[in-house]
Chain A
Amino acid sequence: MRFALLLLASAATYAETIFIQNATVYTVTKGTFKGSVLIEDGKIKQVGQNLAAPSGARIVDAAGMHLSPGIIDAHSHIAAGAGGINEGSVSVSSMVRIEDFVDPESVAIYRALAGGVTSANILHGSANAIGGQNRLIKMRWGKTGVEMLFDGGPPSIKFALGENPKRSGNPTPAPGGPTTVARYPATRMGVEDIYRQAFTEAKEYQKAWVDFKSGKSTVEPRRDLRLEPLVEIMEGKRLVHCHAYRGDEMLMMMRVAEEFGFRIATFQHVQEGYKIAKEMVEHGVGGSGFSDWWAYKMEVVDGIPYNMALMTSKGVMAAVNSDDAGLMRRLNTEAAKTMKYGGLTEDQALALITINPARHMKVDDRIGSIEVGKDADLVIWNKPPLSSYAVPQKVYIDGSLYFDRDTDVSSRIAKEARKKALEEKAKAQQIPPQPKKDSAPQGGPQSDEVR
C-alpha cells in the first residue's frame, strides 16, 4: 500500500518531457557525437544527431555543453553514518542492512550529486569477513530514505579480506569498559575459516528449509536473518562485493566461493588485481578500485596507477570508485587518470565510472550509458567530462532535475541570510547569567545556570 503510494508519487515527477539539444553526447556504449536526447516518463526516449523537439517538450539548450550518463560510484559509505557503517562486534554480520539507515538529508548526497554522481552503492564497512547488506541508491536529493533506494538489480553484501577483518585489535577495547574478548579470527587463515564455517552452517540451514518445505521434515526451522543472506548468495540471488587488496587472498576467496558454488561479483580496492587478472576473468569477478591511491598501509604497498588499464586490457570488468565523500565529487577526474596511466580511451575511461560499475551491480539494463529505454540519469557539463575543468551544470535523475548549478548559487544568499538571522536571534536570547533574587544561594558551579 505504502509502496503503491510511493510509485504514484514518483510517477508524478516523471511528467515532464525534456529535450536536451545541441550537446556533445557521450553515450559511453555507442560513441560520442553532437546531438540531442529526448526524455519522457523519466526514461531516455530518443538519442540522436538529428532529432526534432516534440511539441510541448521543455527544451534545454546545451550548446557548447557536454552530456554524459550520471556517474555511478560502486563503493561509498556516505549517508549511512547513523547506522554505524560497521557492525564490528562479530565476524559475520550479514543480518545488518545499510538500507535501514540511508539518510536522505546527508549533505554528502547533495555534494556528490553536484559532482555528477547519480547512483552509489552504499557499502557496509570492512570490519568483518562477512559484513552487512549493501544498498544501491539514487541521489534523489529532497526525497525520503525509502524513495532514494534503487528499485532494480539484485541485493548485495559486503565481504572483507586481509587486515581489517583479521586484526587482533578488532574489536578495539573500550576505554574503561569491560574486558574485551578478542574476536576471532586473528589471521588471514582464520578469515578463510570464517567463510567455510559460515557457509557450511548456511548449507545446513538451507537444507533444513528445503526438507521442511518438501515435507521431508515436520520441524519448521527458525528463521535466521544472519543465515538467510548467505543462502541467497549460494543461490545466486545476492551479489558479493569483497574488500580485498592482495592477490593471494583474492585467489583464496575465489576458490572458497567456487567450493560453495557461487561467484564473487567484484573485488573492491583490488590493488593487486593486475597480478591475477587471468584468474579474475576465469572466475568472472569484476575489479573496482582507486585510480591512484595506495601504500596507506602495508597490504596496499603493491598498488599501482596502471591497475585499471592493465585489468581492462586483460578483460577484467574494471571500475573506479571513491570510498570517500570527497573523492566521490570528482570521480570524473579519477577516471581520467587511467588515460594518462595506461592509455585507456575516452570511452574506456568513462566506462569505469558509468557502465562498468552498472554491470558489476547487474543494473546495466537500467543505468550507466545514454541508450534508449534507460533511466534518464544525465549530467550536463560545461567542459568535456574527463577534463579537470569540467563542472556539472545540471544533473538529472529519472528525468527530473535534481541539481542545477545556477539555482544552487543563487539560493546561497537566502540560506546565508537565514542562518545569520537565526544566529543573531540565538545571541539575543543569551541572557548574561545573573543570580536569581529569590533563589537561595547554592554556591556550586550550577548556580549561574540560566533557568
Chain B
Amino acid sequence: MKQFLLFISLAMFSLAQTPVTVAIRNAKLVTISGPVIAKGTVVLRNGLIEEASENATVPDGAWVIEGDGLTVYPGLIDSISNIGIAPPAPTGPVTGAITATALAPPAPPARGPEDRPRTTSWERAADKFRSNDPRIESARNAGFTSAVIFPTTGIFAGQGAVVNLAGDNPSKMIIESPAGQYMTLTGGGGAGGARGFPSSGMGVYAYVRQIFIDLDYYERTKAAYQANPSGKQRPAYDRALEGVKESGRLLMPATSKVEMERVIKLASELKMPFVLYGVHEGYRAASVLKQANASVLISAKWPTRPPTADPEAEEPLRTLELRESAASTPVTLNKEGVKFAFYSDGQTPAEFLKGVRLAVTRGLSHDDAVKAMTLSAAEIHGVSNRLGSIEKGKIANLVVTKGDLLTEKPAIQYVFVDGMHYVPTADGAPTPTAPQGTGRRPR
C-alpha cells in the first residue's frame, strides 16, 4: 500500500516537472571504484554521473532525493545473458524469424574444418537485440541495469554486446559491440559423428587451432593482396575468420580444474585475450588461474543434485565435494587476486542473486560480491571506462536501496538507467501490457 502511494506521488511529480538533473543527497555511496562514502551526494545529468562526492553541489532545478538511510550502488551487470536475443524459455509467442530458423533444413554434416562447422562467429548480439523482452524489466526491478548478451549456440557462437536494460530503441541501448566471442567446446556432433566434424572434444580443439592458423594466414595473404593486387590470386572472403577477428576476446567454458588447465593451455596458443566462464571448481584452481593471469566469469548457478536423480544412487566423493565447495570459489579467487564477475547462467534475477548471496555466506564480502556484478564485470568486458562504478563521467546506472542490496528481500527504492528513473514494480507483479515505459520518468 505504502509502495503504491509512493508510486502515485512520483507519477504525479513526473507529470508536474521533468527534471533533467537528479541529485541524491546525503546518501551512502558504495562507489566500488573507491572507498564507501558514508554521506555523499551523487548528481546525474544527461544520462551521466556528473558528480559523486561528499560535498557535491546540488544544481538548481535538480530533482533532489533525500538520501538519509539510502545506499547507492552502481547498477548491476549480468556478465553472460541472452536477454533480448532469445525468447524466455516457455512463454510468449514465437516470432516469425525464429520459426523460420527452426524450420530451416539442417546443414549437411561438415567434413572438416574447411566447412567451418557450428560457426556463426560473425553474428552480433547487438544486431539481434530486441527491447521488448519482458525479462528486461524484471532484471531491472532486481537492480540489473546492464547485461552482456551473447548468441550461445555453436563452437564460435557469435559476438556479444553490452546493453543497458531500459529503453525502447535497441540501438540506443547498446553500450559496446562487439564484446567478445562466445565459445562452446563440447563435441556433441551426434552419435558416431552423424552430424559431421567435429564429433569429439578433440575434434573441437583441432578445429579451433586450425581456425586461428587460418586466420593468421588469411590476414597475411589479404594484406599482401591489398598492398599489391596486380598479378596475385584474390583471397576468398571468409566470414568465419572475419567474425573471430572482430570479437577480440574469447569466452571459453571451463568448470573443473582440469578443464581450466586444458582451456588455458589451448587459449595460450591462440594469441587472443580470453576469459573463462563456468569455473565452479575454481576453489581448487586459484593458483592455476592466477598463474595464467586469467579473468573468469563465475556461474552463480551452483551445482546441485538433479531433482530427477535416483535417490538411491550413490555419488562419487568428487561430485559431493564440488557441490559442497563450488560457492566458495569467489572468496577463494578474491583472496588470490583473480579477477572475477558473476553471471546468471539462465537463472531468474532472484535466483541469480540468491546464488551470489550463497557466495557471501562462504566469506565473500557484501561489497566484493557487488563488485563482481559491477566494476569487475565492466573491466572483464572492456567497458569499465563507462560502467561499473559511481564515478564522475560514467553512465548514470544506479540502484538505490534501503539497507544492503544483497539481502533476501532488498528494499530497492530507485533504479536509474542512463540517468532515467525507473520505479521497481512489486516482485511477482503481472507483466505490464506495454513492456516498457511503466513507471518510467521521462526527463
Q: Is A89 an interface residue (CB 8 A)?
A: yes
Q: Is A171 an interface residue (CB 8 A)?
A: yes
Q: Whole-angstrom distance between the alpha carbons of A97 and B259 in the complex?
A: 16
14 A-B pairs besides A97-B202, A145-B261 with CB distance below 8 A are A83-B202, A84-B199, A88-B193, A89-B196, A95-B210, A96-B202, A171-B193, A172-B191, A173-B194, A174-B191, A174-B194, A178-B106, A180-B109, A226-B113
Contacts of A104 in B (CB 8 A): 258
In order of increasing CB-CB distance, the 4 nearest A-B pairs are A84-B200, A89-B193, A178-B106, A174-B190
Q: Is B92 an interface residue (CB 8 A)?
A: no
- Give the contacts of B356-404 with A (CB-CB under 8 A): none
State whether B428 touches A223 (Cβ < 8 A): no
**Per-residue 0/1 for A439-451: is the Cβ within 8 Å of any B Cβ (1 yes, 0 no)?**
1100000000101
Say what secondary structure dominates the interface of chain A: loop
> How far is the CB of B88 from the nearest CB of chain A, in Å?
14
Say what secondary structure dominates the interface of chain B: helix
Whether A89 touches B198, Cβ cut-off 8 Å, given contacts A95-B113, A103-B258, A171-B193, is: yes
Residue of B with least CB distance to A79: B258
Out of B205, B266, B323, B351, name the residue touching A96 (CB < 8 Å). Answer: B205
Q: Whole-angstrom distance between the alpha carbons of A418 and B206 in the complex?
A: 40
State whether B214 touches A440 (Cβ < 8 A): no
> How far is the CB of B320 from the nearest CB of chain A, in Å?
4
Number of interface residues of B (CB under 8 A): 55
Give the most central of B111, B191, B194, B351: most A CB within 10 Å. B194
Contacts of A84 in B (CB 8 A): 187, 199-203
- Give the contacts of A419-451 with B (CB-CB under 8 A): 419, 422-423, 425-426, 439-440, 449, 451
Out of B191, B214, B320, name the residue touching A422 (CB < 8 Å). Answer: B320
> How far is the CB of A422 from the nearest CB of chain B, in Å?
4
Q: Is B305 an interface residue (CB 8 A)?
A: yes
Contacts of A14 in B (CB 8 A): none
> How far is the CB of B62 from the nearest CB of chain A, in Å?
38
> How far is the CB of B410 from the nearest CB of chain A, in Å?
16
Q: Is A177 an interface residue (CB 8 A)?
A: yes
State whether B203 touches A419 (Cβ < 8 A): no
What would be 12 A-B contacts, judged by CB atoms less than 8 Å apart?
A83-B200, A90-B112, A95-B206, A100-B266, A127-B193, A170-B193, A171-B192, A173-B191, A174-B191, A225-B206, A422-B324, A426-B305
Q: Whole-angstrom distance between the alpha carbons of A105 and B190 in the complex?
A: 26
State whether A225 touches B213 (Cβ < 8 A): yes
> How far is the CB of B355 from the nearest CB of chain A, in Å?
12
Whether A172 touches B194, Cβ cut-off 8 Å, given contacts A89-B189, A101-B262, A103-B258, is: yes
Q: Is A183 an interface residue (CB 8 A)?
A: yes
Give the most central of B113, B187, B200: most A CB within 10 Å. B200
Chain A interface size range: 35 or more
Q: Is A312 an interface residue (CB 8 A)?
A: no
Contacts of A145 in B (CB 8 A): 258, 261-262
Interface residues, chain A, with chain B CB atoms under 8 Å away? 2, 82-90, 93, 95-98, 100-101, 103-105, 124, 127, 132, 144-146, 169-175, 177-181, 183, 220, 222-226, 415, 418-419, 422-423, 425-426, 439-440, 449, 451
Q: Whole-angstrom distance between the alpha carbons of A440 and B427 in the complex?
A: 12
Q: Is B307 an interface residue (CB 8 A)?
A: yes
Residue of A with least CB distance to B307: A449
> How far is the CB of B203 from the nearest CB of chain A, in Å?
4
State whether B192 touches A93 (Cβ < 8 A): no
> How far is the CB of B364 from the nearest CB of chain A, in Å?
20
State whether A89 touches B197 (Cβ < 8 A): yes
State whether A101 touches B193 (Cβ < 8 A): no
Contacts of A170 in B (CB 8 A): 192-193
Contacts of A124 in B (CB 8 A): 202
State whether A180 touches B203 (Cβ < 8 A): no
State whether A86 touches B200 (Cβ < 8 A): yes
Q: Whole-angstrom distance between the alpha carbons of A425 and B198 in the complex?
A: 41
- Give the contacts of B247-289 with A (CB-CB under 8 A): 256-259, 261-262, 265-266, 268
Q: Whole-angstrom distance between the alpha carbons of A145 and B195 in the complex?
A: 29
